Amino acid sequence: MNGPDYVLELPNELDAIDRAVSFLLERGEEAGFERDRLRLNFRVGLTEALVNAILYGNERDPDKRVRVEAVFDNDKATIRVTDQGTGFDPSAVPDPTLPQNRGETGGRGVYLIRCLMDHVEYNASGNSVTMVLRKRNGPSNSTTSSDTSMKTADRTSLGHEIGRLAEQYRRTFPERAVQVWARDGSDWTIVYASNGGEDPEPGPSTARMTTDTGLELALDVGEQGAALDFFIGALEMILGYEEEARSAAREIAERYEEINLLYSISEVLGSVVSLPAAAQKILSEVAETLGGRRASLWIHDERSNRLVLAAAVGEGGTPDSIAVDDPRSVTARVFREQSPLNVERGATLPRGGDDVRPSEEAFVSVPISYTPPEGETRIIGVITLIGRVHHARFSAGDARLLAAVASQVGAALETQRLMEESVQRQRFQRELELAHDLQMKLLPSTDDFRGVIDIEARCAPADSVGGDFYHLVRLSETRCAVVIGDVSSHGFAAAMIMALTMSAIGIYARESEHPSEVLRRLHRSLISELESTEMYMTIWYGIVDAEQRTVTYANAGHPHAFMMRGDGTRERMDATNPPLGLLPLPEYGEGVLGWEPPGDLICLFTDGLSDALGHGKASGEGELLDRVAALADQPSDAILARVFADAQNGTDVPPDDRTALIVRGS
């Protein structure tokens, strides 16, 4: 590159890029470059090269500079970007379009430059890149035509091209200047002349040709036979170039759209948006890029085995979901057979059964696959485009691009779905923990009764929340209501009954001196709740009187309530009535026992504890009481700690709520 037209010395900052690119774009426009080539190829290629120079070459060093040299010739622009870094090996940059590299953040710039520029060359050390961009239709003094096809190529560009080639091969014709004329019916025009050529019309020794569009060309290289041979060879070359240029232009345009699309998809998926919003955005981008009139994105729901509409673009009666085995749905078929379908307008759409109606619109549908980090690829949904704007069909390239998008989308959507699920699980877990804490807080503290009666209690739900409970209500200086209960279930429903019971007891215990009356009222207020949830509740309600030395109790079906005497004997405080929630009774029974502290000990528990100790056998109750008796000389909390620890080992029974209370005199 000799004698650049423009030399720019840029500071090493990204802000400088825009100014430099804008300046050179204007020069390119003045030099007659096509606007679309400037806007896309020139702007993007140059910008990428500058970004690379500033960020990677100069490594953001503010003390370094980037040099840009530009030459605008008749037919091409040559731009060289040089940084002050140590350079890099461009052949080591991976192809970002390969599946294994798509996740890489870098490498796209170098790839883009190669795609967009006609020629790219790095110097040996790799800190300088020279890019050449040719005009599509030849030099600027030609009458430019936007169509690149040979058939409509005007005489000047074709003639000029031939002349240029002849010039390059001038060594073959050293004795004469090269000159080319062209005419399409009227007068000859000189379309190319090397230095010295000045004849206004072709002489008799020139070789002549007529193209299939009627354009007449004349070439003078001084020797007719050689000129004719050259004519033919040159035309073949030009045709080849034209074809190459056309396909390159197509590919660049296609690639550019593809890269753009994948960029915007990763942008959408990278930002924190909800699953439906992401699906909708991606689908709009896809439909716009591929020119689809309508588009729909379907995600498979495993529970219902249906494809559920996640997003839709365009008018049309799209259903909310499709059964996977629907024989009439092409989308369902693509999902079932796990292979894409591309049908042009008017072709027979492979519907099920005898339905062989031709498709009213072009149709392309691809499965969305997802490959987990470890495991098999599976199909999670389908993307369908219907109706191609201006065309009868989607190209194979369209279908391939859609498939590429689908695989990206699949991974992202699946990841997002799993994330949402895990967030929900965590939320549910937090709520369970809250419920557990709340339930534990409902249980009264035993500290309030010290000095009068010594009460120790422990309650361990099987799940986060359970149906076991105990309650303590201080009735006077010397009297206290003690309650243990077991709702016939656990989980939230049981916990709700438990909470209702706790608050109801708080009220009724102070309204009535009689345990039987408290249970009667309790039953009345709970029965509809219990019946509607098909639960019942065993409950032992006793009033411990430290002054009278008695225990007065009512027992609705609770089997495990014992008076353990100082002399080693045990008395069961039998049920006076069936459990609550079965039958409304007009009256409840009561029992009274003498209570002689400190020897006598009241032991209450639920079957979760005795079943665990007895490994599911009825003997658990006896074992539990034996243990308590053996530990009777120890403090109550030590006894409970020991019994619960032993029950913890009973892992051969289904988990159940476990509760126990020990009441002694102070």
Partner 1 sequence: MAFEVTENGGVTIIDVEGQLIVGNRQELKQKVLERLDSGERKFLIDFTNTGYIDSSGLGVLVSLSKKIREQGGELRLANLNEDLKTLFELTKLDTLFHISNSRDEALQTY
The residue ranges that bind partner 1 (CB under 8 A) are 486, 488-489, 534-536, 538, 556-559, 572, 574-579, 582-583, 607, 611, 616-618, 654
CA 503 to chain CA centroid, nearest Å: 47
Instruction: Kindly state the smallest distance separating residue 525's Cβ from partner 1, in Å.
Output: 19
* SS3 state at 100: helix
Given the complex with partner 1, which of 58 and 489 has the nearer CB atom? 489
Report the distance separating Cα 519 and Cα 555, nearest Å.
8
Select 175 or 652, whichever has its Cβ closest to partner 1: 652
Cβ at position 487, least distance to partner 1 in Å? 10
Q: Which is nearer to partner 1, 370 or 470 (CB)?
A: 470
Q: How far apart are CA 649 and CA 652, in angstroms?
A: 9
Residue 212 vs 652, nearer CB to partner 1: 652
CA–CA separation, 341 and 349 (whole Å) = 10
| Token pair of 289 as six digits | 């890029």
Closest distance between partner 1 and the C-beta of residue 549, in Å? 26
Q: For residue 431, what are the contacts with CB-CB under 8 A and spacing of at least 6?
A: none
- Give dist(CA 179, CA 197) in Å, integer: 6
Nearer of residues 438 and 583 to partner 1, judged by Cβ: 583
Query: CB-wise, 111 or 536, nearer to partner 1?
Result: 536
Question: At closest approach, how far in Å is the CB of 429 from partner 1?
Answer: 24
Nearer to partner 1 (CB atom), residue 593 or residue 632: 593
- Rounded to whole angstroms, how far apart are CA atoms 280 and 269? 11
Q: How many CA atoms lie within 13 A of 569 on its CB side?
A: 3
Distance of closest approach, residue 461 Cβ to partner 1, in angstroms: 15
Q: How far is the CB of 486 from partner 1 (least distance, A)?
A: 7
- State which residue, 153 or 530, has the beta carbon closest to partner 1: 530
Smallest gap, in angstroms, from Cβ of residue 526 to partner 1?
Answer: 15
Beta carbon nearer to partner 1, 331 or 538: 538
CB 471 within 8 A of CB 439: no
Q: Which residues contact 124 (CB under 8 A, 6 or more apart)?
A: none
Taking the alpha carbons at both ends of the chain, their separation in whole angstroms is: 106
Enclosing H/E stretch for 615: none
**Shortest spacing between CB 543 and partner 1, in angstroms:** 20
CB-nearer residue toward partner 1: 248 or 583: 583
Q: Report in angstroms how near the CB of residue 562 gets to partner 1 at its nearest.
A: 12
| 338: alpha, beta or left? (left if phi > 0; alpha if psi -120 to 50) | left
**Minimum Å distance from CB 503 to partner 1?**
24
Task: Provide CB contacts within 8 A for 168, sequence distance 6+.
Answer: none
Cα–Cα distance, 440 to 447 (Å, whole number): 15
For 253-289, letters b (16+ CB in 10 Å) and e give eebbebbebbebbeebbeeeeebeebbbbbbbbbbeb
Return d(Cα 237, Cα 242) in angstroms, integer: 8
